[in-house]
Amino acid sequence: MPGNNYCPSPTTPRTRLERLLRDRELRKSSRVSTPSEEIGDTLSEADFFSQDSILSCQLSDEQQDFEGLLEGSPPQDVRPRKQRLLVVANRLPVSATRMADDAWHLEISVGGLVSALLGVKEFDARWIGWAGVHVPDESGQKALTEALAKKRCIPVFLDEDTVHQYYNGYCNNVLWPLFHYLGLPQEDRLSTTRSFQSQFDAYKRANHMFADVVNEHYEEGDVVWCHDYHLMFLPKCLKEHNSKMKVGWFLHTPFPSSEIHRMLPSRSDLLRSVLAADLVGFHTYDYARHFVSACTRILGLEGTPEGVEDQGRLTRVAAFPIGIDSDRFIRALELPKVKESMKDLKERFAGRKLMLGVDRLDMIKGIPQKILAFEAFLEENPQWREKVVLLQIAVPTRTDVPEYQKLTSQVHEIVGRINGKFGTLTSVPIHHLDRSLDFTALCALYAVTDVALVTSLRDGMNLVSYEFVACQAAKKGVLILSEFAGAAQSLGAGALLVNPWNISDVATSIRYALNMSEDEREKRFHHNFMHVTTHTSQEWAATFVSELNDTVVEAQLRTRQVLPVLPIDTAVSRYTCSHNRLLILGFNGSLTEPVDSSGRRGGQIRELEPRLNPELKEPLKKLCGDEKTTVIVLSGSDRSVLDNNFEEFNMWLAAENGMFLRLTSGDWMTTMPENLNMDWVDSVKHVFEYFTERTPRSHFELRETSLVWNYKYAGKQAFPYLLDFIPPLFSLPS
Ligand SMILES: O=P(O)(O)OC[C@H]1O[C@H](O[C@H]2O[C@H](CO)[C@@H](O)[C@H](O)[C@H]2O)[C@H](O)[C@@H](O)[C@@H]1O
Ligand SMILES: O=c1ccn([C@@H]2O[C@H](COP(=O)(O)OP(=O)(O)O)[C@@H](O)[C@H]2O)c(=O)[nH]1
């Protein structure tokens, strides 16, 4: 369900849930079909040129459709003013190519993020991003800025070195593989783009450049929605410039387990800057949970069902599974051009079942694994060899990154080998295309496919699987889907889920899919079709933005409830005037040496016995020597600890939380009842020992009147143990 807390919790405010449902209903009932939403009624080529004479464009149908989506219909007086939305993503929805000094060719960019955001129509949206091209001269920048403005796009101009270090380097060679569990680059991969540090510097520089453009175009009340791993530094830059800006950040990739994230040298910087946003969104609960646990374990912050808290400030964290504009795909199937393509494809592959893969040529998509599984299937099922064909569309991507170049050769080599092995004079089993298809060609392919094969090793969501389902109302084909794609959580019930690393498992699923009964296909399809058509990209965006608006309002309310900060000047002047003062000081954490969140003091693991911070000795001596002031140290520690630390001062000591009292010049007194029953200690001690052994960095102390298990430095991994731990304590005899 979109906008749910990262952790489904019974404490979710009922009002939030109700608001979500109400908003959803309102959106449904107020939805008006604009001209651009009617079938085929997109801008014509002539309209396009008349609007934009300096553009040299050959518009495909897909681009015409895109035109309609980007420009929308002008706001009319009767309609309420739409909220302004600044969508900030690394890539604009168009890539630009320079045709002449002042002439630019604009083409829609391929990728899930662009497809999803094209569906966002409810806002007065503007896009801010990189146009995918280096423009060194001012006149070229001016011409491109004007051309893009007509498409409601605002460019960020990045120089070549920044692109190399930031985009090819830090984003695609460091963050991308790490977030998809492929590890960090080894030295040989790093050396091509220099060190982590210089890449990270370029990353921050680039994020500042994005921030400058946002700040320039921002108007009060705008919502700023930052996207993806390219812009993790952006929320912080924006909030530092204007703390009132409403900032949301959404990650389109997985967020890995904190065990993976902690490998990153810049792990804390990135988490902290993302936390500057008001709302942080992920595709699935798992990714959100991983993010929260990275913040608790690495930064030592507090995780709650609502998000992450840092000194009273909450960053809301929630799951917002993306969708597609399913209507756009369903309507496209009625277009004559799509019908014609479907007819061609059916004729070309007559007598054979068609299996389809559509992926960017990226290592996370598991293309080699998919092809090897298809080979295993052909090997084990000779009767199918002449009756099935795998069509793999592999869209070239990030071609400047050496890993991607290697992958291309690897895939070509495998395809060549298998086609050589199973091909005949008249046909080959694998049709592999290193290119992208336009929207209409893609829809036709989806519609005639019998089995779609998605074998991502990790994938934030995977919209191809959604698009395939949207186009299958007639055929009701089967979706084989990797359990490591975010989509497996929403389409899992209708798809055949596979582990792409298990080649024989995938091969078995291929056989099962090809032989599946019509009845089963129909049931599975129905389930997924319902999901895809009700969880759309419009719904996704509207929910995120409405949550962001609400989060900001709630944060303002919360700020008013926060206790006011002590007015230091007033406190000091009252202190100076008074003649009889009582100062009650804590010990652990107040007067002890500073330790970091993992319990290290100056890089060393802390000693078990707390020690007075040497820097406080002098001021404390002065305080204790002041006859107008009585000082008490009140601590949970036992008497010997206080003796060892405060013997030399003239003060009161209260050990074990007041069980024992002493003026340092006198003897210890006790407030303990004479017949205090301590029989429970032995049995509880065993329980404490058991959990201490199993919880690194926790320790337990046996005091005179209490037993303490201290898990303060153990990190949040102690919590599962705590849950086991508390019930046995309650069952102890009192
Ligand atoms: O812009 P590129 O570097 O060429 O890469 C294309 C996009 O790839 C990634 O897409 C992700 O977003 C999809 C939609 O949420 C999701 O379904 C998919 O699983 C992700 O891989 C990337 O996150 C985008 O920023 C890129 O633009
Ligand atoms: O030839 C192609 C192949 C893919 N796509 C689009 O690229 C997107 C891929 O998104 P997905 O979420 O599956 O993965 P990503 O590439 O973003 O990692 C989908 O919307 C496809 O329709 C396209 O327009 N043309």
Higher pLDDT, 202 or 118: 202
Q: 671 with 661: CB under 8 angstroms?
A: yes
Residue 558 has pLDDT above 80, yes or no: no
Query: Ligand 2 pocket, 423 CB below 6 A?
Result: no
pLDDT at res. 194: 58
Reading the block at residue 89, the tokens are 């993503």
**Separation of CA 482 and ligand 2 centre (Å):** 16
- Would you say the CB of residue 471 lies under 6 angstroms from ligand 2? no
C-alpha to C-alpha distance for 364 and 360, rounded to whole angstroms: 9
CA pair distance 297, 258, nearest whole angstrom: 8
pLDDT band at 43 (very low <50, low <70, confident <90, very high): very low
pLDDT over 80 (residue 68): no
Average pLDDT over residues 317-324: 95
Model confidence band, residue 185 (pLDDT cutoffs 50, 70, 90):
confident
Q: Is residue 515 over pLDDT 90?
A: yes
pLDDT at 21: 55
What residue's CA is closest to ligand 1, atom 3? 398
Pocket lining for ligand 1, CB < 6 angstroms: 91, 111-113, 116, 228, 252-253, 322, 397-398, 459-463
Phi, psi for 642 (deg, rounded to 5): -70, -40
User: How far, in Å, CA of 493 to CA of 624, rounded?
Assistant: 71
Most confident among 40-44, 397-401, 508-512, 535-539 (mean pLDDT): 508-512
Question: What is the predicted pLDDT for the residue at 55?
Answer: 26
Closest ligand 1 atom, CA of 364?
21
Mean pLDDT, all residues of the chain: 85
Given a cut of 90, whether residue 523 has pLDDT beyond it is yes
Please state which of the ranges 170-184, 359-373, 697-711 shows the lowest mean pLDDT: 697-711
Distance 3 CA to ligand 1 centre (A): 20
Q: HSE-up of 593 (CA within 13 Å, CB side)?
A: 16
Weakest mean pLDDT among 511-525, 560-574, 621-635: 560-574
ipTM of the complex: 0.95
Which pLDDT score is estimated for 112?
62
The verdict on the CB of residue 395 being under 6 Å from ligand 2 is yes
Mean pLDDT of 418-437: 94
462 CB less than 6 Å from ligand 2? Answer: yes
Site to probe by mutation for ligand 2, drawn from 62, 358, 469 as the one with most ligand atoms within 8 Å of Cβ, is: 358
Burial 583-613 (b: 16+ CB within 10 A, else e): eeeebeeebbeebeeebebeeeebeeebebe
Q: Is 63 in the pocket of ligand 2 (CB under 6 A)?
A: no
Residue 300 phi/psi, 5° resolution? Answer: 70, 25
Q: Is the dihedral of CA 212, 218, 221, 222 positive or negative?
A: negative
Could you tell which of 454, 464, 481, 490 is best to mutate to test the pocket of ligand 2, judged by most ligand atoms within 8 Å of the CB? 464
* Interval between CA 122 and ligand 1 midpoint (Å): 22
pLDDT of 37: 29
pLDDT at 710: 81
Q: Are 222 and 548 in contact (CB under 8 A)?
A: no
pLDDT at 671: 84
- Which pLDDT tens digit goes with each residue over 580-629? 999 999 998 889 987 665 555 544 444 457 889 999 999 999 999 999 99
**Top mutation candidate among 210, 253, 537 for ligand 1, by most atoms within 8 Å of CB:** 253
Q: Give nearest CA residue, ligand 1 atom 24.
A: 113
Instruction: Determine the pLDDT at residue 124.
Output: 87
HEC string for 153-192: EEECCCCHHHHHHHHHHHHHHHHHHHHCCCCCCCHHHHHC
Residue 111: the pLDDT is: 62
Q: Is the pLDDT of residue 391 over 60?
A: yes
Residue 133 Cβ inside 6 Å of ligand 2? The answer reads: no
Q: Which atom of ligand 1 is nearest to the CA of 227?
A: 25
Assess whether pLDDT exceeds 60 at residue 729: no
Position 462 pLDDT exceeds 80: yes
Pocket test for ligand 1, best of 127, 133, 252 (most atoms within 8 A of CB): 252
